Amino acid sequence: MNNANDILQEVADYYSAKLTEHGDLPRGVDWNGEGSQVLRFEQLTKIVQQNEVFSINDLGCGYGALLDYLGSNYKKFNYNGCDISGDIIRAAQTRYKNITNAHFYVAAEPIDTSDYGVSSGIFSVRLGRSDAEWKTYID
């Protein structure tokens, strides 16, 4: 059985290919469109209070679209996005290079603690792995 690093590399390659095919748009991170992406962001941030200052870790951040949503709906926050695809992180860093309250890095887990942590869809790309391999990986 391949180890978790092999699975992570396969998933990173999968998302890098999606980014190459579609660009830094919802389809570039395997969303079916902007509407479903925004709906997911609304659900992920339901517990965040409008007037509070907060920090948030976005695990599997893709090109950082959650940052746009947060910027439109919240006043003051610090955002840390991590993803296993170096290509996607470079796209996010380029896209948000002038945003001082956001940081992006290649990682399979957040590098720091935050007030909130979100993750959406990080276990949805199984790539033909057996049930046993997938269970071992997500456990």
Domain ranges across the chain: 4-122
Tell me, what DSSP letter sits at residue 127?
A: T
Superfamily of domain 4-122 in CATH is Vaccinia Virus protein VP39 (3.40.50.150)
Residues whose CB is less than 8 angstroms from the CB of residue 57 and which lie 6 or more positions away in sequence, other chains included: 80, 81, 82, 110, 112, 113, 114, 116, 117, 118
pTM across the whole model: 0.84
The owner of tokens 């947060």 is: 70
For residue 28, what pLDDT band results from cuts at 50, 70 and 90? low
Digit-coded pLDDT (tens) for 85-110? 999 999 999 999 999 999 999 999 99
Which of the two residues, 126 and 12, has the higher pLDDT score?
Answer: 12
